[in-house]
Structure 1
Amino acid sequence: MRIQPLFAALALLALAGCANDPAPTEQMRLTEQALAQAKAVGATDEIAELKMAEGKMARAQANMSNEAYRDARMRAEQAELDARLAEARVLTSKSNEQLNLLQSRVNRLRKQLGEQP
């Protein structure tokens, strides 16, 4: 029955390997870029996703300070996705505004053409 202690030792080694997550510096950088990009296209704190992204990024930075790298990575990934969603919402809103403006111009031109004999 020497197999059981061997499996126990391997399990402990596997768990120890999982506990040593590397610092997610690249993910933190990507998240900072996503936040900056969202703000660059006009996202403000009034957009819920941006506010959530900033909150999650703050928690990720706190996790980094506490060397809780796994939690930092997960929060940073979530923050990046929220920031990208905020950016997409702003761009969609701007596109809809442009579409509405063009539609009103087309309608005005149609009306003008309809009034001519």
Structure 2
Amino acid sequence: MKARPLFAAVAIAALSGCASDPAPTEQLKLTEQAVAQATAVGATDDQPDMATAQSKLTQAQADMADKSYKQARMQAEQAELDARLAEARVLTEKSEEQLGQVNTRLDRLRKQLGAAQ
């Protein structure tokens, strides 16, 4: 009979230990940096990934204020990934534009060389 109260106390202690997640301050910093980086390369809120990142970052900050650290961490991690995706898409788009310009120049050079012969 004495084992049940002891088991209950251990179970409660274990559950309360799991419930107290540390504040994800470092993750929030990483997320804010990722959002700033994406913005710096040209990502805007008009892009779905960037808008989602901003929204999730705002939610993470609200969760932090409410001390819902687990939720804050999850939102911040997702926001970081969305911001990095937005950045990658912008960089890919810029690279494709540059590639198109290079190909256009090459075509012009080929035509000039062909006309000269």
TM-score band (shorter)? over 0.9
Instruction: Tell me the distance in 1 between the aligned counterparts of 2:3 and 2:96.
Output: 66
Deviation at 1:4, TM superposition (A): 5.1
SS for the counterpart of 2:17 is helix
Output the TM-score relative to the length of structure 1: 0.93
Instruction: Tell me the distance in 2 between the aligned counterparts of 1:34 and 1:115.
Output: 50
Output the TM-score relative to the length of structure 2: 0.93
Deviation at 1:12, TM superposition (A): 2.0
Instruction: Tell me the distance in 2 between the aligned counterparts of 1:7 and 1:108.
Output: 81
RMSD, aligned α-carbons:
1.4
Instruction: Tell me the distance in 1 between the aligned counterparts of 2:57 and 2:113.
Output: 55
Cα deviation per residue 1:67-103 (whole Å; 9 max; x = unaligned)? 0000000000000000000000000000000000000
User: 1:46 maps to which residue?
Assistant: 46
Instruction: Tell me the distance in 1 between the aligned counterparts of 2:102 and 2:8.
Output: 69
Deviation at 1:45, TM superposition (A): 1.0
Stretches of structure 2 lacking an aligned partner (at least 5 in a row): none
Deviation at 1:37, TM superposition (A): 0.3
User: 2:116 maps to which residue?
Assistant: 116
Deviation at 1:52, TM superposition (A): 0.1
Instruction: Tell me the distance in 1 between the aligned counterparts of 2:2 and 2:84.
Output: 53
1:33-112, aligned counterparts within 5 Å?
A: 33-112=33-112
Instruction: Tell me the distance in 1 between the aligned counterparts of 2:7 and 2:84.
Output: 44
SS for the counterpart of 1:43 is coil
* Identity score, percent: 62
Residues paired across the two proteins, number: 117
Instruction: Tell me the distance in 1 between the aligned counterparts of 2:82 and 2:91.
Output: 14
